[in-house]
Amino acid sequence: MAENQGNSSHQINQGTGRNFFPRLDFLSNSDIQNEVSEKRQALKMNLGSGSLTFSNSTNSTHSNSTSMSSCPPLPSSRPSLPLPLPKLPIRPRPAAQQEFLPDKARYYSREKLRMCQSMQSTGKLQLSPDTIYDFTSEDLQDLGEIGRGGFGTVNKMIHRISNTVMAVKRIRSTVDEREQKQLLMDLEVVMKSNECPCIVQFYGALFKEGDCWICMELMDTSLDKFYKFIYERLNERIPESILGKITVATVKALNYLKEKLKIIHRDVKPSNILLDRRGNIKLCDFGISGQLVDSIARTRDAGCRPYMAPERIDPQRARGYDVRSDVWSLGITLMEVATGYFPYPKWNSVFEQLYQVVQGDPPRLSPNENGNRFTMDFVNFVNTCLIKEETQRPKYNKLLEHPFIRKGEEAKIDVAAYVSGVLDSMANNGVTPFTTNQP
């Protein structure tokens, strides 16, 4: 049977003229074992000599039965070691990502630096009419926080070049570079108008990374910290003569802003009236916060809500407001400082404030208030400021003619001695003279 198959296969190959099955040489089991032994021995010898390459050896041809003669022979040579490893498919490697990320990070770092540089404005610092510096935030050394409010913080800083100590109010803003330049120009106009002795001197302003830095004259304390210590720690009250000097200075400052700079302050409150040991009483911010808010937020809610006039809180009064809204805030401030407490009860929501201020009766000061006695001139002045209908509320020119203002201007009071005495008591009681917790 096997012989017939071999013949038929041979006939087919001859008929076609082609060998479909090349000749194969099959080795016996003993021959294979001998060859494996020889290869192992050669491997050991090559390993010992430090070489991993084998020379090709020729397979010996062995005769077998005629029925096997038509099979193709095994390859005459075997591959040398080491065998090549199969190539794996290329995959995204973490190393490639790590090579990309630093470039991306450097790109964003450059962009951030470019933006910060554009936001880092160089401002004008005018310390006197004849002393003006170009400055950046790098020229200021921070000496610590001395105040905190709704718009930002106030820090005590020193201008290294001139060795001038100042208060720097940092207000967060979102204005773009074009608006920054316009705002700085407006502030420089205000800076050139430091003529009123009742206003904290404005030295200059600049932008840094979205913050507006306003550099101002450094005072010793604020009126809110001052009066609270007197009432709560000393169990005393501020003499009406001192209240008169505070009122005169504040009204003159507000009138100067309106007449000379065409500015409405919009944030009159005890924390924005400052005092020092020399007896100076000065209004701070002087409308700069108002300008910032106008430029940044375009809102009617600029300022501190508890001191806002009814026309500013009432959304129905679309006609806006004028300096008489600051007159209302002055009345609330004087009533609070004179009595030792805020004239309205604490509001739990904006709706309560809206109802009480807009719908309710305005606060009224009486000659005998919380154990205090006030003259009728002072009582009348405060209640005039707190007229609810703004059209009937006087402006500054009328207030300056009021008997209480006239009497306060003429009074000979040593304000410096009084303020210094209270500041010494604050220091002896471990109370900081600065405002750090006011809205």
The residues that are catalytic are 267
Provide the token pair at 159: 């201008």
Residue list for the binding site: 169
User: Which residues touch 225 (CB under 8 Å, ≥6 apart)?
Assistant: 271, 426, 431, 432, 433, 434, 435
Tokens 């208060």 sit on residue: 167
CA atoms of 193 and 263, how far apart (whole Å): 12
Amino acid making up residue 209 = E
CA atoms of 412 and 414, how far apart (whole Å): 7
Half-sphere exposure in the Cβ direction for 364 (13 Å, CA) = 5
The answer to whether 154 touches 169, Cβ cutoff 8 Å, is yes
The answer to whether 218 touches 165, Cβ cutoff 8 Å, is yes
CA atoms of 44 and 187, how far apart (whole Å): 91
Amino acid making up residue 201 = Q
Dihedrals φ, ψ of 188, to 5°?
A: -70, -30
CA atoms of 433 and 439, how far apart (whole Å): 17
Q: Is 322 exposed, middle or buried (0-12, 13-18, 19+ CB in 10 A)?
A: middle
Dihedrals φ, ψ of 236, to 5°?
A: -125, -175
List the strands of the sheet with 273-275, edge to edge. 221-222, 273-275, 281-283
Tokens 């290329």 sit on residue: 90
Provide the token pair at 290: 């108002």
CA atoms of 300 and 312, how far apart (whole Å): 7
User: Which residues touch 359 (CB under 8 Å, ≥6 apart)?
Assistant: none
Tokens 């911010």 sit on residue: 285
Residue list for the binding site for ATP: 169
